[in-house]
């Protein structure tokens, strides 16, 4: 692994990363410690095109009000301030960007995939997650990636995993550089390119899962996932049913 980049140099290195790659991101703000980069992006005087990176995030938020564990000095936490858009599109751009960046950052081959809608997973558990929140004219696209953690709080044991735990020797700065550059690209990709990249890494298809969709529970084998539209699921009782992406959540897989 390369020598660690001193924290004072993070901003410069990350600013160079976005400047070297055309895209909508303009300015990097590095915070030594913050509760949540999503909240910091709202509190600070941020603009569209800003990226907020925390060296340590202590009280991150996940989807459905869940907590995202303290990153310590081991995880990556970043929020991208971008123009308001369809949430599915932003979530796909982020999941594809996060997945590609992890693959590019690791020198070893790592088996990772995207579990619909936007979890980055490996055989050991969840490596990264995406949270999209919108207000006024802007969207805050938050990405968390577990890089060097070797132990987890009790409630996450067996569910969360880090790159270090799958044998990948990547440092946080390398993951962040790749993430910012990949997000420069995915944020301006057309829907078709995004769906193609998403589908190449999507791992829910072919598995059995349970969903909550428009106030009912549906269980069955996932036949097809279109991340912009929805899922086809083969159930025992009703045959194949279509679940719209916007109103469906996975409750068990």
Binding site for ligand BTN (CB under 6 A): 36-38, 57, 60-63, 66, 68, 77-79, 119, 129-131, 142-144
Strands 208-213 and 248-252: antiparallel
Q: How far is the CB of 142 from ligand BTN (least distance, A)?
A: 3
CB nearer ligand BTN, residue 209 or residue 220: 209
CB nearer ligand BTN, residue 17 or residue 78: 78
**145 CB-near residues (< 8 Å, 6+ apart):** 75, 76, 98, 101, 102, 120, 127, 128, 163, 175, 179
State the residue number with the nearest CB to ligand BTN. Answer: 129
CB nearer ligand BTN, residue 95 or residue 220: 95
Q: How far is the CB of 38 from ligand BTN (least distance, A)?
A: 4
Question: For the CA atoms of 27, 31, 36, 41, what is the dihedral angle to 10 degrees?
Answer: -30
CB nearer ligand BTN, residue 71 or residue 181: 71
Cα 150 from Cα 168, distance rounded (Å): 12
Q: How far is the CB of 237 from ligand BTN (least distance, A)?
A: 30
Q: Can you tell me whether residue 113 is helix, strand or coil?
A: strand
Q: How far is the CB of 136 from ligand BTN (least distance, A)?
A: 19
Q: How far is the CB of 68 from ligand BTN (least distance, A)?
A: 4
Region of 209 on the Ramachandran plot (φ > 0 left; ψ -120 to 50 alpha; else beta): beta
CB nearer ligand BTN, residue 179 or residue 243: 179
Could you tell me where the DSSP H helices lie in the chain? 10-19, 37-43, 87-105, 172-186, 191-201
The number of angstroms, rounded, from the C-alpha of 248 to the middle of its chain's C-alpha atoms is 18
Tokens representing residue 195 in the block: 């769906």
CB nearer ligand BTN, residue 129 or residue 230: 129
Cis previous bond, 117, omega within 30 = yes
CB nearer ligand BTN, residue 18 or residue 131: 131
Concatenated DSSP letters of 120-138: EEETTEEEEEEEEEEETTE
Q: How far is the CB of 32 from ligand BTN (least distance, A)?
A: 15
Q: How far is the CB of 238 from ligand BTN (least distance, A)?
A: 29
């Amino acid at each position: 692994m390369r020598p660690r980049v001193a924290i004072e140099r993070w901003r410069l290195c990350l600013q160079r990363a976005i400047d070297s790659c055309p895209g909508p991101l303009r300015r990097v703000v590095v915070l030594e410690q913050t509760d949540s980069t999503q909240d910091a992006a709202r509190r600070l005087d941020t603009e569209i095109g800003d990226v907020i990176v925390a060296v340590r995030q202590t009280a991150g938020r996940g989807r459905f009000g869940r907590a995202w564990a303290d990153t310590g000095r081991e995880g990556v936490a970043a929020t991208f301030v971008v123009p308001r858009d369809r949430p599915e599109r932003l979530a796909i751009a982020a999941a594809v960007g996060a997945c590609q960046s992890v693959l590019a950052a690791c020198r070893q081959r790592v088996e990772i995939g995207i579990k619909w809608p936007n979890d980055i997973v490996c055989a050991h558990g969840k490596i990264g997650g995406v949270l999209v929140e919108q207000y006024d004219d802007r969207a805050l696209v938050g990405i968390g990636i577990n890089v060097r953690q070797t132990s987890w709080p009790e409630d996450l044991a067996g569910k969360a995993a880090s790159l270090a735990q799958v044998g990948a020797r990547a440092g946080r700065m390398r993951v962040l550089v790749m993430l910012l550059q990949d997000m420069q690209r995915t944020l301006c990709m057309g829907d078709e390119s995004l769906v193609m990249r998403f589908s190449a890494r999507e791992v829910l298809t072919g598995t059995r899962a349970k969903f909550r969709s428009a106030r009912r529970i549906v269980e069955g084998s996932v036949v097809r996932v279109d991340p912009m539209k929805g899922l086809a699921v083969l159930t025992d009782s009703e045959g194949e049913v279509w679940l719209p992406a916007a109103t469906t959540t996975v409750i068990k897989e």
